[in-house]
Chain A
Amino acid sequence: MIYPILEVIGLVNRFGTQLVHEGLNMEVREDEVFGIVGGSGTGKSVLLRSILGLQRPQAGIIRIDGRDITKMTTSQLYEVKARYGVTFQQGALYSALTVRQNVQLPMIEHVVMEPEARDELAMLKIRLAGLPADAAEKYPSQLSGGMIKRAALARALALDPRLLFLDEPTSGLDPISAAEFDELILYLQKELRLTVVMITHDLDTIFRTCNRVGVIVDRHMEVDTLEGIVNNPHPWIQAYFHGERARTRLERHGT
C-alpha cells in the first residue's frame, strides 16, 4: 500500500474537558503546498505539535512516510525528526549561536561530516534561503524580522528534508517582504521538490502559494482545493474567504 507523505486519521486532542480536535483527518500529497487555516484557538498549533511528535494525541493515527509516529519510541522519533524541517512562528533561532551555527546544529546532531564541508554546506543553505553571505556570522538579535524568517528556513533545510513545516511564515513581515518570502518558498518547493505544510493567516500567502487548503472548523478539518474551499458553505469559511479583507484579494488573484 502506498501511503501519502503525511496522513492524519481520526486525531483527537483533549485538554481536561476541553476537546480541541475530534476525529480530525488530513492528507498531504507529495510535492504540494498545503495550507492550514483556522480561527484563533481552533488548535492549529496543537495539530502541528502533534504532527511533529512534540505531544502525543489522545487518539488517532499520524503517518509520516507511512509510519505511525504516535506509536513510536523516542529513538524512532529521533530518526523521523531528521526527515522533516520546521520553522517556528518567532523563528526560534538559538540566540547564543550565529546564523551559521544555527544551520549547522542539525547537521552536527544527525550527520557525520568534516567541519569544512559543514561550513560550506551551511553557507549553501544560507544563500539558498536568500540571505547575504555576511549574515552567516551574525547573531539572531542582529537580524531584521525578514532575515530571521530566512535564517529559520535555512536551518529547517539543513538536512534536505522532503517535508517542510512552516508555522506562520509571513507573520510580522511587511507585504513586500512577505511576497518575497512566498516567492522563495515557491522557488524552493519547485527546485527541491519539497512538500510544504504551512499554517498561515495571510490570505495573500494562501492565494500565492497553496495548492490545497485545510480549514479547522468545529474541531475537524475541511480539506479542499483553493477553488473548492472558497466556495465551501461553512459560515466561518465563508466569512474568512469572503470578508471585507478577503474580497479584494479574491478579485486580484482571479479565483
Chain B
Amino acid sequence: MLEIRRSDRGLELELTGEWRALRFGALDAALTTLDLGGARRVEISTNRLEVLDLSGAWLLHQFIKCTEAVGVEVTFKGGPPDQLRLVDQTLKGQIPVCTQQRPRVPLSLVDEIELPALRSLTLLGQHAVLYVRDLVSDLAFLGRMSVTAIRAITSWKRLRPISIARHVYDTGITAIPIVSLIAFLISVIIAYMSAQQLRNFGATVFVVDLVTIGVLRELGVLLTSIIVAGRSGSAFAAELGSMKLNEEVDALYATGVDPFEALILPRVFGLVIALPLLTIIADVIGLTGGALLCRFLLNMPLTQYVTRVQESITATTFWVGIVKAPIFAMLIAMAGCYRGMQVRDSSRELGRLTTLAVVQAIFLVIFADAVFAVLFLEMGI
C-alpha cells in the first residue's frame, strides 16, 4: 500500500492498493513508522491507487500536516486527489450546517463551574434541591392517583374491569407456580432447621407452631410480595417506560384519556386483588410443606399435625398476615408505575428506573412489614 523510493531529490511515496477505512490500522501504522530520513522534499504519487476513501484521505491529510510542520515540502505527482480537497473543505466547515436546531437545554448547572470547592458545594445544593423536588413529585403522584381512584370507583366504566382482569391474570395467575414453589421450600427449610434445634429439648412437636405461625403471619405474605415485586414491579416499570419512550402516553393524553385512569389504576387494582389471593395460596402450600416434612422427617401422624396447627393458631393469626397483602400490593404497583412514568429520552433511563422500581418496591415492602410488626405488637395481636 506504500512504496518508498529514496533519491537525491528527496523521498518519493507511491500509494498503491486500497486506502479504505476498513484497513485503517495498517495504513496508519505504515505512515507513522515511515522514516523521512532527513529528506527535504516528499513527492506523493497516486496513480496506482485503486481506492481512496474519506478515512484514507484523512490519514493522508494528517500525514501531510505533520510532515509540513517539520519543514518538509510535500508535492503531488499529477495533482492532489479530490478526496483530499473534500477533507479540507469539510474541516474548514464549508458544508452548510443544518438550519433547524433546537435551543440548548443545560443538562446540569455544575458542568459550568470551574472551582473544585465551589463545585462540590453546588453539587450538594443541587442534590438537596433535586431531593426535595423528588419528594414533591412523589406526593403529587400519590395525590393524583388517589383522586383518580376516588373518581374511578364511582363509575363502572372508569374502573376498566377488563383491564383489571388482565392484570390479575398477568400478575396473579401466572405467578402461582413460582409462588407455590417458594412457599413450599421455605416452610420445608423452617421445619427442617427448627426440628434440628428443638430435638435437643425433646420439643419437636413445636416445629408445627413455628411453621404455622411463621408462614401465616410473616413469611407467606412477605416472600410472595418480594417475588411479585421482582416479577410485576419490573414489568410495570418496563411497560410504562417503553410506552413513554414511544410517546404512547402522550397519545393517550391527547385523546383525552387519563393515563392514570387507563394505565396505572388497573395495575394497582389488579395487584391489590391478586396479591392477597397469591398469599392464601402461599399459606396453603406452606402448611402442606410443613405437614409433609413432619410426616416423613419427624414421623408425626397427619392427624396430630392438624390438631397441633389448630391449637397454635388464634383467630387473628391468618388475618394478621393477609391484611398486609393489599398494602404491599399497592406499594409494589405504585413504585413500578411511578418509576415507569418517569422514563424519558433514552433506553438507559428505562433500565435505570426499572431497577430502581424493583429495589424500592422490595425496600418499601420490608419497611412496611417492620411497621406492621411494631403495630401488631403494640395492639397485642
Contacts and interface: CB of A to CB of B under 8 A. Distances in A.
Interface of A: 82-83, 94-96, 107, 110-114, 117, 120-121, 124-125, 127-132, 139-147, 150, 157-160, 174, 176-177, 180, 183-184, 187, 191-192
B101 A139 contact: no
A111 B53 CA distance: 14
Interface stretch (B88-96, B187-195, B214-222): B88-96
A141 B349 CA distance: 12
B97 A130 contact: yes
B160 to A, nearest CB: 31
A120 B86 contact: no
Interface string B3-38: 000000000000000001110110010000000000
A176 B99 contact: yes
Contacts of B25: 111-113
Interface of B: 20-22, 24-25, 28, 53-56, 58, 62, 82, 86-87, 90-91, 93, 95-102, 105, 245, 344-348
A128 B22 contact: no
A131 B98 contact: yes
Nearest to A183: B96
Given A157-B54, A192-B53, 5 more contacts: A82-B22, A96-B348, A128-B54, A144-B102, A160-B54
A177 B90 contact: no
Contact of A95 (B24, B93, B346): B346
Nearest to A158: B21
Contact of A191 (B86, B93, B348): B86
A144 to B, nearest CB: 5
Contacts of B96: 130, 180, 183-184
A113 B24 contact: yes
A67 to B, nearest CB: 15
Contacts of A180: 96, 98-99
Contacts of B21: 107, 110-111, 158-160
Contacts of A142: 102, 105
A117 B344 contact: no
Given A82-B22, A141-B345, A141-B346, A192 B100 contact: no
B100 A146 contact: yes
Contacts of A176: 99-100
Contacts of B344: 141
B55 A128 contact: no
16 contacts: A82-B22, A107-B21, A120-B58, A124-B90, A124-B91, A127-B93, A129-B95, A130-B96, A131-B97, A142-B102, A144-B100, A147-B101, A147-B102, A160-B53, A174-B100, A176-B100
A111 B19 CA distance: 13
Contact of B95 (A82, A107, A120, A184): A184
Given A121-B55, A124-B90, A192-B54, A95 B348 contact: yes
A132 B24 contact: no
A111 B91 CA distance: 22
Nearest to B32: A114
B82 to A, nearest CB: 7
A100 to B, nearest CB: 15
A130 to B, nearest CB: 5
Given A117-B28, A127-B95, A145 B100 contact: yes
